[in-house]
Amino acid sequence: MHIEVVGSGPALVLIHGWALHGGVFAPLVDRLAAQYQLHLVDLPGHGFSHDDATPLRLPHVVNAIAAATPPAVWCGWSLGGLFALHAAATLPQVRAVVMIAATPRFVRGDDWPHAVEPAVFEQFGQDLAQDYRGSLERFLALDAMGSEHARQELRTLREMLIARGEPAARALQEGLRLLENSDLRGALAGLGKPSLWLAGARDRLVSARAMQAAATLAPGAQAHVIAQGGHAPFLGHTDAVATQLQHFVAGLP
């Protein structure tokens, strides 16, 4: 698995969302590399890990990342949040967890109303088999939709998507199944580690309400909403996200 290391200081592990790669965090790298050692993960089947055959499942990926990184704060965006949260709940070397536009459960249920309908992920899975590139384009549009800087963010995401080669179809299907089937809410009450939940106020995929609801389940959690931010707030509102990260890490024991 490809993990790029940039900067020096306390270690942060950054895990990207569905279909992208670690390069998507470039704006945060520019802001944080002088203070932190950033470990930028390309998940299996994505970016420079395109040919990595590790199954895109929580324990497999988390253990592989942990074996290649020092004790650190793990930060996960969207799909990456599932890996970061699972790591925080199961591995002692994870100091704290930062969830960026991510929740322990991405699909709606009777007791979890502020989420996406299950049919959305089912439809994306069907569309991938019929129109691979068109499906990716539609998903990137959802990533940027609603943001104050939606047009610029969409342009950046399009460039990033192909910057390290297209993601493997197998990994995309596995990622959709993770988003559709994972429910890590049960790990929050006993998490025992600091957590920061960063939401975009205009996010069309992961609502701020869902993130705030998740934060109430984790004792001592901090939650912050990025005003005017969409699903990728670190692109259009880099300074706001970086500032929240810096304050959170500075306050860790």
Catalytic (active site) residue 203: yes
Which residue among 203, 207, 224, 237 is the active-site one? 203
Which residue among 16, 39, 42, 78 is the active-site one? 78
Catalytic (active site) residue 183: no
Please give the C-alpha separations between residue 206 and each of 78, 117, 146, 174, 226, in angstroms, as whole numbers.
8, 11, 12, 19, 13
Q: Kindly state the tokens that stand for 155.
A: 């342009």
| CA angle (48 as vertex; 38, 88 as ends), nearest 5 | 45
**Bridge pairing between strands 11-15 and 37-41:** parallel
CA distance 169 to 145: 24
Which residue among 2, 21, 39, 231 is the active-site one? 231
Catalytic (active site) residue 231: yes
Dihedral over alpha carbons 24, 32, 243, 22 (to 10 degrees): 20
- 192 dihedral zone (left: phi>0; alpha: psi -120 to 50; beta): left
HSE at residue 38, side-chain half, CA atoms within 13 A, is 26
Q: Work out the number of other CB atoms within 10 angstroms of the CB of residue 125.
A: 16
Contacts of residue 253, Cβ cutoff 8 Å, sequence gap at least 6: none
- Active site positions, annotated: 78, 203, 231
